[in-house]
Amino acid sequence: MTGIHLTRYLVEQEQQGLLSTPALRLLLETVADACKRIGHLVNQGELGGALGSNQTENVQGEVQKKLDVIANDIMLEAHRWGGYLSGLASEEMEQVQAIDAGATHGEYLLLFDPLDGSSNIDVNVTVGTIFSVLRIAAGSPASEAAFLQAGTRQVAAGYALYGPQTMLVLSLGHGVVGFTLDRNTGTWTLTQASMHIPEQTREFAINMSNQRHWEEPVQRYVAELLAGKSGSRGTDFNMRWIASMVADVHRILTRGGIFMYPRDAREPGKAGKLRLMYEANPMSFLVEQAGGAATNGHQRILDIEPAQLHERVAVFLGSRHEVERVTGYHAS
Ligand code: AHG
Ligand code: MN
Ligand code: MN
């Protein structure tokens, strides 16, 4: 099946009854188009004049990069007139944006992280765009409450990766596929027909600089990994940390591993750093669809009923056996 273009893939999924509506196909094609444009700006780097700080803060109090804002605008603009969306929500916008398409409202909601890993943009390291699609009763306006759905309700999720290759990784709830952008022709071409995460791994990803702030179960789990062959695990583990979740998750979807961003004592009021709706839910959907697991240390991430749009969550995801082990340590 590899070699076909994104449109053909989506049409085939629709014909097989695996993609619920033609509107969803248009929505996903529009996301892919917007990602192509964001990817082009990322590739242009200094030549496009879009690097550096924007001197503004987002709703979470983080300094925005120029490209955070531009990528957000590109995604908003791309969907403004499509008619299939009722509203959008983004990490970079305090409030949800309802689509004003006259009297009718589309039947989908789009949530996104316009530029993930933006601290890496100025140093020319992989960044990406993460997205999640939910359904809303047709005809309903997009209030904030309509977005507060558990991750199990996602009808599609994915990300674009702006790295050595520009890629689009997607799940419609029937496995995970990957497309590579052919920059000569501008087409997304299917290159990974079925991405799968091995159950076992000997590679982990965590920001070790926060070690002193972690809770006991994470201290114990990582200490055992670091002890390697001479410790209770009896084998050596390797570590990677790119600081772009999208790039770390892509590595895990490609060759396995466990990714962790636990809650820690730096900001006791926050459940973690990563955002449930724009990062944890779409990535957990992909990881589960690829045979892996994703928890917050206590429960499956996709089962969490969100209370707030910009809610944070602890994240443990990737190869099933390791995620189950560290989750088990939280219970004991
Ligand atoms: P964003 O650039 O959208 O704010 O997300 C950054 C996130 C995530 O991509 C990454 O895994 C993590 O922050 C890195 O955090 P540290 O800088 O604390 O390692
Ligand atoms: Mn992010
Ligand atoms: Mn971001």
pLDDT at 104 over 70: no
- Choose which residue among 42, 58, 244 to substitute to test ligand 1 binding: the one with the highest number of ligand atoms within 8 A of its C-beta: 244
147-156 pLDDT, tens digit per residue, is 999 999 999 9
What is the pLDDT averaged over residues 166-170? 98
- SS3 for 31-84 is HHHHHHHHHHHHHHHHHHCCCCEEEEECCCCCEEEHHHHHHHHHHHHHHCCCCC
Which of these, 88, 92, 102, lies nearest to 70 by C-alpha position? 92
189-210 pLDDT, tens digit per residue, is 999 999 999 999 999 999 999 9
Q: Which atom of ligand 1 is nearest to the CA of 244?
A: 9
46-92 pLDDT, tens digit per residue, is 998 888 888 888 888 888 889 999 999 999 999 988 788 999 999 99
- The reply to whether ligand 1 has any atom less than 6 angstroms from the CB of 129 is no
What per-residue confidence (pLDDT) applies to 20? Answer: 84
In what side-by-side order are the strands of the sheet with 97-98? Answer: 97-98, 85-90, 108-116, 127-135, 156-162, 166-171, 177-182, 187-192
In what side-by-side order are the strands of the sheet with 203-205? Answer: 238-239, 203-205, 258-261, 315-318, 293-295
Full set of structural domains in the chain with CATH: 6-192 (3.30.540.10), 203-331 (3.40.190.80)
The pocket of ion ligand 3, defined by CB under 5 A, consists of: 91, 113, 115-116
What is the pLDDT averaged over residues 87-105? 86
Q: How many residues does the chain have?
A: 332
- The reply to whether ligand 1 has any atom less than 6 angstroms from the CB of 245 is yes
Q: 103 falls in which pLDDT band (50, 70, 90)? A: low
- The reply to whether ligand 1 has any atom less than 6 angstroms from the CB of 166 is no
pTM above 0.85, yes or no: yes
Which ligand lies nearest to the CA atom of residue 117 in the structure? Answer: 1
What per-residue confidence (pLDDT) applies to 268? Answer: 84
What per-residue confidence (pLDDT) applies to 196? Answer: 98
The token duo for 199 is: 């159950």
Q: What is the Å distance from ligand 2's center to 185 Cα?
A: 29
Q: Which atom of ligand 1 is nearest to the CA of 210?
A: 18
What is the pLDDT averaged over residues 3-17? 96
pLDDT at 1 over 90: no
**Residue 84 and residue 91 in contact, taking contact as beta carbons nearer than 8 Å:** no
